[in-house]
Amino acid sequence: MSSEKMHKQDAIDLSHHLSVRGRSYERSPLKALIARYDDRPGLIKLFSGAPHEDYFPITSVDVHALPYDNFSATPASLSNSVSWFKRFFGLAPAQPKPITFTINHDPAPGDNGLNLTKALQYNPVRGLDYVAATINDFAARAFQPAYADFKTLLHTGNTDGWSRVLQILAEPGDTIIGEEWIYASALTAGAPANLKFISIEMDDEGLLPEKLRERLAGWDESVKGKRPHLMYTVPVGQNPSGRTMGLKRKQEVYDVCAEFDIIILEDDPYYFLQAGLYKPKDVRARTATSGANQTDEEWLASLAPSFLRVDTQGRVIRIDTVSKFLAPGLRLGWFTTSPLFAERLERVGEVATQAPNGLGTAVVGGLLREWTQDGFIRWLRGVRALYTVRRDYFVDALYDTFDVERSVVTEKTDGRDVCVAYAKQNGMREKGVRRPLFEFIPPTSGLFIWLKVAFPPYLRHRYHNSKESLEMLFWTSLADNGVVFSPGNFFSYVGKGAEDVPDFNAEGHYRISFSHVSPADARKTAQILDATLREFFAA
């Protein structure tokens, strides 16, 4: 690692990207003073308004947790195991072998600073040292940034992460580069600064670099204002479209960003939920699951890499969160980025929430310590396997309910086939040519299936007086029939100056989250979808 590091360059100076606001954050003089004197022995320190630790009412916390290997590492062994299957759906009592650790009030040797005296006190924005250091090691190992002096910094989840990035990089009214479909809450976060978003076309692997180049090269500042300098991307299990970008594509996109001096915000909550290709039930039954014999290290290396892996300049700000693999309520995540951006983002934290909640951070620290870092990676693999099973049986339900035809678009899709769903031929044969009901690409990562429903002209004609788009009308029909998806228009910038507004009367898009659905409800969902499509499309 260190010899490799010697060959990497440090981040280049990208400070010209900072907004007026971003430049204006100041270090708190009190905090600077504390840093200057905090370690002098014998000094009587009366500068801090910190309360006395002996008056904290919580004296100790015993944490009971699952072992890191609580879940099978591969979906194969999961789905072949009847006892596992029962446990997975709560049909039999779970039989975890819980681990237990205690966060004590008083500091003790070897507690790694994970005590309540420390954790419940004011802490610097960086958070508890042990957790910050463990996360830093893990990020280095998992993401392997291509420059030497990257930093990590804890935050309180990726919403906070994106919001802080906007505070330091975006001027009011700026235009942000987004993917064809953009995570709804990322759009909402742009509202306070009246940010506009443009959408760059995607294929089955995500954002298209040539489309990005085209858009940037053709940008006329005299008409459209300042050319965008910040891109928001969810490159793995894209929210909402479920696409995942491989190394080669990332390199191509990165090169365009370097050419046009774009900062890349990589929002990557589903990174460790890379499920791999969907194989229909019958195929799964007769083939071995790839990765069944992988070591944890091999598994980690097999994942589509982070943008950091191609970032030789420090122009990527990556945000991770523990939400999808530990728990969202912990409100904990981290930035991996250049020293420049890390410092500015730390300053933003100082005047907002400060350090992440100390109790939650200490509990995460205890968990990581008990598990060890290798155990943590094994845990990630288990969670990934669980969601892979969920992905599989949800897509199975679509296959079972509809006639699904896989159309391999090109060689390069590598199996990320577009699936076209038709009504089953069950006596209700439609007149004339067989019409596709919807399309989807089985996701290789993340929690979402993204359906595209094409509305034929006669429907557009029938509802042309409706205030609602066909997308929302169909969404309402689905809700009335008992299932609620997220409608596609949530994931499209439709505000002031919007340039890329889809025609929601031509196509409807629906994001289905499969994270909570049972196999029975998955089948029921597919059936409701089927019935509602027939109803809605009835000529």
User: What is the phi/psi pair of residue 202, to 5°?
Assistant: -120, 155
For the record, the structure tokens of 536 come out as 């809605």
Taking the complex as a whole, the smallest distance from the CB of residue 21 to a second copy amounts, in Å, to 5
* Nearest to a second copy of 149, 370 (CB atom): 370
* Nearest to a second copy of 46, 539 (CB atom): 46
Taking the complex as a whole, the smallest distance from the CB of residue 248 to a second copy amounts, in Å, to 27
* Nearest to a second copy of 20, 428 (CB atom): 20
* Nearest to a second copy of 43, 539 (CB atom): 43
What is the per-residue burial (b if ≥16 Cβ within 10 Å, else e) of 432-460? Answer: eeeeebbbbbbbbbbbbbbbbbebeeebe
Task: Give one DSSP letter per residue of 241-292, joined into a string.
Answer: T-----HHHHHHHHHHHHHTT-EEEEE-TTTT-B------HHHHHHSPPTTT
For the record, the structure tokens of 440 come out as 């989807």
Taking the complex as a whole, the smallest distance from the CB of residue 190 to a second copy amounts, in Å, to 9
* Nearest to a second copy of 50, 301 (CB atom): 50
Taking the complex as a whole, the smallest distance from the CB of residue 126 to a second copy amounts, in Å, to 14
Taking the complex as a whole, the smallest distance from the CB of residue 108 to a second copy amounts, in Å, to 15
Task: Give one DSSP letter per residue of 160-202, joined into a string.
Answer: HHHHHHHHHH--TT-EEEEESS--HHHHHHHGGGT-EEEEE-E
* Nearest to a second copy of 299, 448 (CB atom): 448
Strand partners, 496: none
Taking the complex as a whole, the smallest distance from the CB of residue 167 to a second copy amounts, in Å, to 7
User: What is the phi/psi pair of residue 200, to 5°?
Assistant: -100, 130
* Nearest to a second copy of 11, 483 (CB atom): 483
* Nearest to a second copy of 269, 276 (CB atom): 269
* SS3 call for 228: coil
Strands of 151-155's sheet, edge to edge? 151-155, 333-337, 316-321, 263-267, 230-233, 175-179, 196-200
- Residue 216 makes CB contacts below 8 A (sequence gap 6+) with 227, 228, 256, 260, 262
Answer positive or negative: Cα dihedral of 323, 326, 329, 331.
negative
Taking the complex as a whole, the smallest distance from the CB of residue 503 to a second copy amounts, in Å, to 19
Taking the complex as a whole, the smallest distance from the CB of residue 142 to a second copy amounts, in Å, to 18
Between the alpha carbon of residue 328 and those of residues 1, 15, 116, 321, 346, the distances in Å are 32, 32, 22, 8, 21
